[in-house]
Amino acid sequence: MAEHNFQYGVDHLTSSIALQIAKGQTNGILSEQSKEIVKRSTSYVEEITNSERTVYGINTGFGPLCTTKISAADTKELQYNILKSHSVGVGNPIDEQIAKLMLILKVHSLAKGFSGIQLSTLERIVWHINNNAIPVVPEKGSVGASGDLAPLAHLFLPLIGLGEVYYQGKRMETAELFATTGLTSIELGPKEGLALINGTQFIAAHAVTVVDELHNCLQHADIIGAMMIESLLGSAKPFRDELHNIRPFKGNIHVAQNVKSLLKGSKILDSHLNCSRVQDPYSLRCIPQVHGTSRNAWLHLKELVEIELNSVTDNPIVLSAEDTISGGNFHGQPLALPLDYATLAAAELGNISDRRIYLSLEGKIEDLPTLLMNNTGINSGFMLPQYTSAALVSENKSLCFPASADSVPTSLGQEDHVSMGSISGRKALQVIRNLEHILAIELLCAAQAFDFRRPLKSGATLEACHAFVRTRIDHAEQDRIFADDIQKAHGIIQERALTNIFAPLQSEAPSPFKNLFEVY
């Protein structure tokens, strides 16, 4: 575990820090300050419970049962029932890291002291985080409005000895976890069941993952796009400052600067400065406008996610023993819309990437053979990888309908407008993971086309990127199982190898918005 400690409920959480905690690079703790805040909030709930006041979620039923008074004797049983009754998720389990992020985000929100959670409950959740005992959470079942009720209920079943967890490389019943570790069920206090399942942590954990994975795709799209510009003898003029300063979108300027940096020192560019071509196709010429717009969508999401990570999305909010608010901070709309926007941004990166792939195969560019292979006829060359990119692009288009455009009433009409943000988050990741494969295919074609520019050299960074690709994937002289090559290229993108090569150059000649477009 890293030496640095992040104080839940006190320090400012970002997507980057949340991921560092999830990966064990930063230690999340309940500091003495955090503990005092939590204890104060718990005392408020205890005072309400011992009074004659009726407060939603503390001594009443939930949702449409909000007018049903619950006796003090039944209040604790109610907390267990809510976890069991709301565990209605279906489908495959979500990624373990996303489930771990849900735990991290929930602890941070509860530790802010507006939820009446017991310190012992938070300490048990932190134990799960620190010991990688990650609950099994089904992917479907949340409508993203009264909090992510179903997935959060599954997330916290292990607190009361139910459900399943991943632990030490094995999926097991919580009873087996208890037998292995010596843990026992915790005793939930008033309001705790509701505090645990109310919130947007399923949506937010997906959003954190989207911020991270889409950023990686954006970085690679610029690098691979620049490699295609070189391979297809594209012009550097569309990336000049003078052009973008008169339409100064931050993302556009950042991408143009990235591409300029990647092309710096290129002898390939010098070789066709005086060619007869007037202008390039849009998939090359408009990289700043298209990639840049996707950057802007990513930035919008990153900024909103950071607000959400440091928010309280429980209900009711306990301000004091005398002051509680039953509101709607659990509604997922603030993230549902930008997640749908990010989905479209990711799909468009794939769309323009596929156009560059197709362009590289046409055989219309000087010294570049049709289908990127000399001996075609007996060989199909790189024709079929583009079929896969076309299929993935089409699939992504079908996933672009915004989930947030829909709402189906639930809870007997009490919850009559819902965000469907959980679906927005899941769809965004589907599109991004398809995009990774599209970019992998473009990387494969760009590297192959790049070889035909020899003996000319590109700039130092693109040469280093190409050389790295060639350590994993050989130039293709004849047909082979290209699925293997696609998987290797996909591995390069997931490892972030090319962005690590590019990062030092970005530091030397950064865009004015470099820091803005980092995952902090």
Give the contacts of 108 (CB within 8 A, at least 6 positions apart).
8, 9, 13, 28, 309, 310
Q: Please write down the HEC assignment for all residues of 423-491.
A: HHHHHHHHHHHHHHHHHHHHHHHHHHHHHCCCCCCCCHHHHHHHHHHHHHCCCCCCCCCHHHHHHHHHH
**One-letter amino acid of 109:** S
Sheet of strand 170-173, all strands in order from the earlier edge strand to the far edge: 134-135, 164-167, 170-173
CA dist 318 and 186 (Å) reads 22
**Alpha-carbon gap, residue 305 to 310, rounded angstroms:** 9
Distance of alpha carbon 392 from its chain centroid, rounded? 19
Which residue in this structure is represented by tokens 């930035």? 299
Which among 56, 166, 167, 341 is annotated as catalytic? 56
Give the DSSP H or E segment for 36: helix 32-49
167 classed as catalytic: no
Calpha distance 298→213 (Å, rounded): 10
User: Is residue 310 packed enough to be buried (19+ CB in 10 Å), middle (13-18) or exposed (0-12)?
Assistant: middle
CB 356 within 8 A of CB 225: yes
The answer for residues whose C-beta is within 8 angstroms of residue 129's C-beta and 6 or more apart is: 21, 28, 100, 103, 104, 107
Strand ranges, E, within 303-424: 317-318, 324-325
How many whole angstroms separate alpha carbon 476 and alpha carbon 407?
50
Q: Report how far residue 456's alpha carbon sits from residue 463's, in angstroms, rounded to the nearest whole number.
A: 11
Question: Nearest CA to 345 among 390, 420, 290, 394?
Answer: 290
Q: Is 370 exposed, middle or buried (0-12, 13-18, 19+ CB in 10 A)?
A: middle
Question: Nearest-5° angle of CA 480, CA 482, CA 483?
Answer: 135
The reply to whether omega before 455 is within 30° of 0 (cis) is yes
Residues paired with residue 166 on neighbouring β-strands, in sequence order: 134, 171
What residues contact 330, with CB distance under 8 A and at least 6 apart? 145, 146, 147, 198, 199, 200, 313, 314, 315
Query: Would you say 392 and 434 are in contact if contact means Cβ atoms under 8 Å apart?
Result: yes
118 burial via Cβ count (<10 Å: 0-12, 13-18, 19+): buried
Q: Residue 501: left (phi > 0), alpha (psi -120 to 50), or beta?
A: alpha
Q: How far apart are CA 461 and CA 356, in angstroms?
A: 20
Enzyme catalytic residues:
56
